[in-house]
Amino acid sequence: MKKQLNVSAIKQGTVIDHIPSTALFKVISILKLDHCKDMVTFGNNLDSNVMDGKAIIKVENRFFKDKEINKIALVAPHAKLNTIKDYEVVGKYVVEIPDEIQDIARCFNPKCITNHENIDTYFEVISKSPVALKCRYCEKITHQDQMEIK
């Protein structure tokens, strides 16, 4: 095998690249790819010049809206998307942390209602780099190093 990704090419759909290896399964879960009927292939711990180990996901026949894909920015801030049609790359997109985040991260505050009752979390993103999230409920700020993905 040469320096080629061990994940087969797709005819049409989306390739999500530059995902940190540790975030692969979180990305799958955030995008609910574990529940979709389309063909999903992924590879993990692939060589990368940019990261220690990276993962890639290919989803046949799926095209994501910006809003949908930006949800993964919290766990994969450098993820890149290639949109494929007829085996050709027809579009590129780099994810961006949205201004509001619904139900992806946990509030770090153990006394927050969201950690005691089964409800969605909502955060206002008050800083993107490093990430800082203000909880709509307890009003406390969760910083990047305290962040946990639900």
Partner 1 sequence: MNAKNLISITDFSKEEYLRIMDLAADFEANPDQRLLDGKVVATLFFEPSTRTRLSFETAINRLGGEIIGFTDSSSSSVTKGETLHDTIKMVSNYADLIVMRHPLEGSARYASEVSDVPVINAGDGANQHPTQTLLDLYSIVKTQDRLDDINLFMVGDLKYGRTVHSLLMAMSHFNNPIFNFIAPPELAMPNEYKLYLQSKGMRYFEHTEFTDIISEADIIYMTRVQKERFPDPVDYEKVKNVYILRNKMLKHTKDNMRILHPLPRVNEIHTDVDSNPKAYYFDQARNGVYTRMAIIAHLLNLK
**Residues between 70 and 109 that touch Zn ion (CB under 5 A):** 107, 109
Query: Which of 9, 90, 113, 149: binder of partner 1 (CB under 8 A)?
Result: 113
107 is in an annotated binding site: yes
For partner 1, which residue of 111, 129, 130, 148 counts as binding (CB under 8 A)? 111
| Binder of partner 1 out of 21, 82, 109, 146 (CB under 8 A) | 109
Count of other CB atoms within 10 angstroms of residue 49: 5
- 134 sits near partner 1 (criterion: CB under 8 A): no
With CB under 5 to 8 Å by kind, the binding choice for 97 among partner 1, Zn ion, none is none
Question: In sequence order, which residues have a C-beta less than 8 Å from that of residue 4 and are 6 or more positions away?
Answer: none
Question: Is residue 133 involved in binding Zn ion (CB under 5 A)?
Answer: no
100 CB neighbour count, 10 Å cutoff: 10
What are the DSSP calls for 7-59, one per residue?
A: S---SSEEEEEEEEGGGHHHHHHHTTGGG-SS-EEEEEEE--SSSSSEEEEEE
Q: Which residues pair with 97 in a beta bridge?
A: none
Q: What is the closest distance, in whole angstroms, from the C-beta atom of residue 66 to Zn ion in the complex?
A: 27
Under rule CB under 8 A, how many of the chain's residues touch partner 1? 16
Compute the least distance from the CB of residue 114 to partner 1, in Å: 7
CA dihedral over 22, 24, 28, 31, signed as positive or negative: positive
Query: Annotated binding residues for Zn(2+), as ranges?
Result: 107, 112, 135, 138
